[in-house]
A and B are shown apart, each in its own frame.
Chain A
Amino acid sequence: MDPTLQEIYSLVLKQWPLVAGAYSILWVALIVYIGMIMARLGRLEKEIQVLSEAVERRG
């Protein structure tokens, strides 16, 4: 292979996994964290609705 191109590819390939890793870890971590909070929030709202109705029926 052309040594110049080889040098350029080696530079690009050396840094790209680090850049891709940084962005993907950050996006995935944030999306999972927010998704987990939202799922818990949805569950809590449902539970509260059910319990509120039960309290109303009793009261």
Chain B
Amino acid sequence: MKNRVTGVLLVLGGVLTTVSFIVAFFVAGVPDFGTVTVANEVQTERSLIEIAAEGFKYGRPDWGQKIFYFHVPVALSSFLVFIFTAYYGARFLLSKNREFDTKARIATEVTLVFVVLTMITGVLWTKAAWDVWWEWEPRLTTYFIMTLLVIAYFVLRNSIDDEERRATYAAAFGILAFVDAPISFAITRLIPSTHPVIERGGLETPMLLSFLCGLFGMLMIGYAVYQVRVREEMLKERLESLKASLEG
């Protein structure tokens, strides 16, 4: 039953993100940022008096804004999956049950995939919008710290041989690392930042539709991928026990 739900979520997530993509590129408009003025020597059918009055002005198309429809959902999914790292880390510390350590590790692995995708799409957006590959502004900096913490989680795990100690240290580190997620999420609203913030009523209906489809689709994919990885680990354990029983 659980596997069927995971499969449905994965397919539905794929459908929703595809709908988001289609709406983003074929329905939602391209916003302008500023105007471009070509003052003279323009070959046009507009009257010269009209052009002479104000120059030739047109909206500067912000094509880079299209990245937003997938970049933000992937970033929010990374925050959501990272919650599982802290949650199962805390449950492991309370119970010392190995299953929770495995679930926390898988959650961090899926978080890493989403964090890397957020960073790649984010850097491409930064180049398109700000004409620089990187800027040390609050959102980018705190998210970069989160990326390093997620990578450090695996470095820590690989540096400890004893299983019990590794699980305990990883659980504690996972909880501490997660503290950066709400900080990174809220920082653009707390201190001055050049990173855009979605405001209520700030998106036209097609843009909102595309964004919401992308968001729910990506959240479903994130959760489904996490569940599929948990199932894989459970099957691995079963395989090991079957091998052991055959050998014994």
Chain A residues in contact with chain B, CB under 8 A?
A: 2-4, 7-8, 11-12, 14-16, 18-19, 21-23, 25-26, 29-30, 33-34, 37-38, 40-41, 44-45, 47-48, 51-52, 54-55, 58
Do A44 and B242 contact each other (CB < 8 Å), given the known contacts A15-B63, A18-B67, A30-B221?
A: no
Do A16 and B235 contact each other (CB < 8 Å), given the known contacts A4-B42, A26-B117, A58-B246?
A: no
A48 interface neighbour in B21, B117, B235, Cβ under 8 Å:
B235
When the two chains form their complex, are residues A11 and B238 in contact, meaning their CB atoms are under 8 A apart?
A: no
- Given A19-B67, A37-B229, output 13 extra A-B contacts at Cβ < 8 Å: A4-B42, A15-B61, A15-B62, A16-B63, A18-B127, A22-B67, A22-B70, A23-B66, A23-B67, A29-B113, A38-B228, A47-B239, A51-B239
When the two chains form their complex, are residues B236 and A12 in contact, meaning their CB atoms are under 8 A apart?
A: no
Do A26 and B245 contact each other (CB < 8 Å), given the known contacts A15-B128, A37-B232?
A: no
Q: Does B158 contact A (CB under 8 A)?
A: no
When the two chains form their complex, are residues B128 and A19 in contact, meaning their CB atoms are under 8 A apart?
A: yes
When the two chains form their complex, are residues A3 and B42 in contact, meaning their CB atoms are under 8 A apart?
A: yes
A19, closest chain B residue (CB): B66
Do A48 and B10 contact each other (CB < 8 Å), given the known contacts A26-B120, A37-B232?
A: no
Q: How far is the CB of A59 from chain B (nearest CB, A)?
A: 9
When the two chains form their complex, are residues B239 and A7 in contact, meaning their CB atoms are under 8 A apart?
A: no
A12 interface neighbour in B56, B63, B127, B245, Cβ under 8 Å:
B63
Give Cα distance in the complex from A4 to B235, angstroms.
62
Q: How far is the CB of A36 from chain B (nearest CB, A)?
A: 10
When the two chains form their complex, are residues A44 and B232 in contact, meaning their CB atoms are under 8 A apart?
A: yes
Give Cα distance in the complex from A38 to B231, angstroms.
11
Do A11 and B239 contact each other (CB < 8 Å), given the known contacts A26-B121, A38-B228?
A: no
